[in-house]
Homo-oligomer: A and B are copies of this chain.
Amino acid sequence: MIPYKTSIQLDRDSKQALYLQLSNQFVTLIKNRVLTPGAKLPGSRTLAAILEVHRKTVIASYEELLLQGWIESIPKKGTFVHQSIPLLQQKEFSNDAQPPHLQDTGFSFLKEPLLERPPNEELTNFHYLNDGVSDTRLSPMKVIAKEYRGLANRKRSIDYLGYGTTYGNPELRAALAVYLNETRGLHITKEQILITRGSQMALYLASRLLFESNSYVIVGETNYVAADLTFGYVGAQLLRVPVDENGLNTDAVESLCKKYQIKALYCTSHHHHPTTATLSAKRRMHLLNLARNYNFAIIEDDYDYDFHYDHAPILPLASHDQNGNVIYVGSVCKTVAPVYRVGYLIAPKTFVDQCAKLRRIVDRQGDSLLEATFANFIKNGDLDRHIRKVLKIYADRRTIFCDLLKKNLGEAISFEVPKGGMAVWVRLQPQYNWKTIAISAKKNGLIIGDWARYDTAKIEHNSLRMGFAAYNESEIHTVIEKLTLAFNESYPSLGKSE
């Protein structure tokens, strides 16, 4: 008989029932060959005495082991470790209780490089030049949480709890159809809407259905990094066209259409990401005509439609689409707060139907309760109110940010004051470089993002997107002061000519 007194450790303070602890430890002993097939187990009285537990605990434990097939009971002979349990082969046999924290797999898998983000710096005492995110402190989370709970307390809300449609909550689809038709000049019915987890999932689903290995997709010479990543991941070949102050160069698009069979074009027509340029009316029409003539899809990512300051937003391409070429994606994440992963894909019904089927495989369905909450949030006018409120704040922040930037660093940089959005596209004069400035900035508590990632076409454009929306007036002053200090430390001659 093995030394059960020391081989088995029962923890009376554990939440786990004693009999279960006991049977689990028997399993470990069997697996670790301490008890081998055919080994006799002590009688229940004996073991109960050794371990100082009630005999019923031992009996329950043995019953459990019998049921699980680890041991067998032979009448008039006793209880034995089951003869036919193959022993577990281990790479390293470890006798101590602590199992190895497995770092690597016993199987191979695809390790193609996916997006590597630089590890998050410790941001607690740092300011960060982000690339244009909203100020989560302004988020109406209490209103949303109140609505959520209110909904959960209603009796018929049980309807939201079960498995449901992969298209998304029907009330949100209906509310969004009305809302988007009203605000963006669309002419859609709810059947043309798929609710997604933010616009990223919409991009992903569309990409999976559009692209096969080596399909061609047209993007800007510099482009939204996650879109490039998504298209590349699904196997599409990226063809790049120049971007100027009127957005994507559509003549270059036309040239590519003549050479390649284009499957899709990706654009952020309202404000090109990252440069913030708005696609001109002329190019919009040109693009829609090209899509029609060459039968490609336009993936229009309208990520910051809600944020425009100087004039009303320009209606999306989707509002002019008469031929079913536009796949329109957007979300409320950017508008309300990133945590609410509520986005949408709008397209002709046949495409939406296929996306909904694919969705079944990717994550089964959305969160119908949260989606219903957002349906009410839109219908009650809360979304409108929220947008009106933050729009004024962000417009002010933009002005303060751009004024300070121009005043302090006008000599070293150039930029257009953006008409909307949450970021400024800042070009550095060629004699300076962000790398030097970033090192100095970090010493002063300011982190400058990875500018190189905007240079997707490797044209060394030396530009950086600077978000202004997440900081209040006093924080903006601090950020620009730190940035100015970093410039001055890096380039002491800067400003001396004045």
Contact = CB atoms under 8 A, between A and B. Distances in A.
Interface of A: 14-17, 20, 23-24, 27, 31, 63-64, 67-70, 82, 84-92, 94, 98-111, 114-116, 133, 136-137, 139, 141-142, 144-146, 148-149, 151-153, 157-158, 160-164, 182-183, 185, 187-189, 191-192, 196-198, 200-201, 204, 208-210, 212, 226, 229-230, 233, 263-264, 280-282, 285-286, 288-289, 291-293, 295-297, 310-312, 314-315, 320-325, 337-341, 347-351, 354, 357-358, 360-370, 384
Given A105-B325, A148-B149, A153-B142, A367 B351 contact: no
A282 B86 contact: yes
8 contacts: A88-B289, A110-B210, A110-B354, A139-B158, A196-B363, A226-B364, A339-B368, A363-B363
B103 A133 contact: no
A324 B182 CA distance: 54
A339 B349 CA distance: 25
Contacts of A340: 367
Contact of A286 (B67, B86, B197): B86
A349 B102 contact: yes
Given A204-B361, A233-B358, A233-B361, 5 more contacts: A103-B348, A145-B151, A145-B153, A338-B365, A341-B367
Given A200-B361, A263-B107, A99 B133 contact: no
Contacts of A281: 68-70, 82, 85
A27 B67 contact: no
A362 B182 CA distance: 30
B85 A182 contact: no
Contacts of A106: 291-292, 295, 297, 323-325, 348
A354 B70 contact: no
B136 A337 contact: no
Contacts of A264: 107
Contacts of A212: 110
Given A88-B322, A230-B361, A145 B149 contact: yes
A424 to B, nearest CB: 19
Contacts of A362: 200-201, 204, 362-363
Nearest to A179: B15
B162 A363 contact: no
B63 A311 contact: yes
A158 to B, nearest CB: 5
Nearest to A111: B354
B351 A67 contact: no
- The 4 A-B pairs at the shortest CB distance, nearest first, are namely A145-B152, A69-B281, A114-B357, A136-B161
B350 A103 contact: yes
Nearest to A233: B361
Nearest to A137: B158
A249 to B, nearest CB: 15
Contacts of A158: 136-137, 139, 141
A348 B90 contact: no
Given A357-B114, A361-B204, A339 B367 contact: yes
B161 A152 contact: no
Contacts of A99: 187, 322
A310 B68 CA distance: 12
B114 A360 contact: yes
Contacts of A23: 312
Nearest to A250: B86
Given A141-B152, A152-B142, A160-B339, A289 B86 contact: yes
Q: Which of A105, A291, A339 has the most CB of B within 10 A?
A: A339
B115 A357 contact: yes
Given A295-B108, A325-B107, A85 B364 contact: no
